[in-house]
Chain A
Amino acid sequence: MSTYLTKRLLYMLVILFAASLLIFCLYASTPGDFITGNIKLTAERKAELREIYGLNKPMLERYGIWMNNAFHGDFGYSLAQQKPVLQLFNDYIWNSFLLAAVSTFLTWVIAVIVGVISAYKQYSWFDTLVMVAIFAAMSLPSFFIGLFLIKILAVDLKWLPPGGMITTGSNATGLAYLKEVVRHMALPVVVMTLLGLGSLTRYFRSNMIDVLKQDYIRTARAKGLKERKVLFTHALRNALLPAITLVGFELPALFGGSLIIEQIFNWPGIGQLYMKSFGLRDYPLLMGFTMFIAILTVIGTLLSDILYRVADPRVRL
Chain B
Amino acid sequence: MEANSRMTGLHESRVQRQKSSLFRQSLKRLMKNKLAVAGFGVVVCMFVLCFIGPFFSPYTDNKINMTLMNKAPNLQHLLGTDALGRDILTRVMQAGRISLTVGLASMLLSVFIGALLGAIAGYYRGIADQVIMRIADLLMTIPSLPLLFIFGALLSEWKVRADYRMYIVMLMLSIVNWPGLARMVRGQMLSLREREFMQAAVVLGLRDSRKLFHHLLPNVVPLLIVMATLNIGGAILSESVLSFFGLGVMPPTPTWGNMIDAANNMIDFQDHPWLWIPPGLSIFATVIAINIFGDGLRDVLDPKQKR
| Chain A residues within CB distance 8 Å of chain B | 15-16, 18-19, 22-23, 26-27, 29-31, 131-132, 135-136, 138-144, 147-148, 151, 155, 202, 205-206, 252, 256, 259-260, 274, 278, 286, 289-290, 293-294, 297-298
A256 contacts B143, C-beta separation under 8 Å? yes
Chain B residue at smallest Cβ distance from A136:
B288
Residue numbers in B under 8 Å from A135 (CB-CB):
288, 291-292, 295
Is there a chain A Cβ closer than 8 Å to B95's Cβ? no
Is there a chain A Cβ closer than 8 Å to B273's Cβ? yes
CB-CB under 8 A for A260 and B153, given A139-B287, A252-B143: no
**Within the assembled complex, what's the spacing in Å between the Cα atoms of A103 and B156?**
36
B146 contacts A290, C-beta separation under 8 Å? yes
In the complex, which of the residues B150, B237, B287 contacts A26, with contact meaning CB atoms closer than 8 Å? B150
> What 0/1 readout, one digit per residue, does chain B (249-276) give for beta carbons within 8 Å of chain A?
0000000000010010000011001001
**Within the assembled complex, what's the spacing in Å between the Cα atoms of A294 and B141?**
5
Is there a chain A Cβ closer than 8 Å to B233's Cβ? yes
B142 contacts A19, C-beta separation under 8 Å? yes
**Within the assembled complex, what's the spacing in Å between the Cα atoms of A140 and B234?**
10
CB-CB under 8 A for A147 and B276, given A27-B150, A29-B154, A30-B157: yes
Secondary structure dominating the interface of A: helix
A140 contacts B284, C-beta separation under 8 Å? yes
- Could you list 6 A-B pairs, sorted by A, with CB under 8 Å? A15-B141, A22-B138, A136-B284, A141-B240, A143-B240, A252-B143
In the complex, which of the residues A27, A138, A155, A206 contacts B291, with contact meaning CB atoms closer than 8 Å? A138
**Within the assembled complex, what's the spacing in Å between the Cα atoms of A29 and B156?**
11
> What 0/1 readout, one digit per residue, does chain B (116-155) give for beta carbons within 8 Å of chain A?
0000000000000000001001101111011101100110
A143 contacts B260, C-beta separation under 8 Å? yes
Q: Which 5 pairs between the two chains have the least Cβ-Cβ distance?
A: A31-B157, A144-B280, A139-B288, A139-B287, A206-B307
In the complex, which of the residues A27, A131, A147 contacts B263, with contact meaning CB atoms closer than 8 Å? A147
**Within the assembled complex, what's the spacing in Å between the Cα atoms of A203 and B150?**
33
Other A-B contacts than A141-B241, A155-B270, A256-B143, 14 sampled, CB-CB below 8 A, are: A26-B154, A31-B157, A131-B35, A139-B237, A140-B284, A144-B280, A147-B280, A259-B145, A260-B145, A260-B241, A274-B146, A289-B146, A290-B142, A297-B143
> What 0/1 readout, one digit per residue, does chain B (93-123) give for beta carbons within 8 Å of chain A?
0000000000000000000000000000000
Is there a chain A Cβ closer than 8 Å to B244's Cβ? yes
**Within the assembled complex, what's the spacing in Å between the Cα atoms of A148 and B278?**
11
Residue numbers in A under 8 Å from B69 (CB-CB):
none
Residue numbers in A under 8 Å from B241 (CB-CB):
141-143, 260
Residue numbers in A under 8 Å from B134 (CB-CB):
15
Is there a chain A Cβ closer than 8 Å to B216's Cβ? no
Is there a chain A Cβ closer than 8 Å to B277's Cβ? yes
Residue numbers in B under 8 Å from A139 (CB-CB):
233, 237, 284, 287-288, 290-291
A151 contacts B270, C-beta separation under 8 Å? yes
Residue numbers in B under 8 Å from A259 (CB-CB):
145-146
Chain A residue at smallest Cβ distance from B260:
A144
Residue numbers in A under 8 Å from B149 (CB-CB):
278
Residue numbers in B under 8 Å from A27 (CB-CB):
150
A16 contacts B146, C-beta separation under 8 Å? no
A141 contacts B280, C-beta separation under 8 Å? yes
Is there a chain A Cβ closer than 8 Å to B283's Cβ? yes
A141 contacts B287, C-beta separation under 8 Å? yes
B154 contacts A294, C-beta separation under 8 Å? no
B157 contacts A16, C-beta separation under 8 Å? no
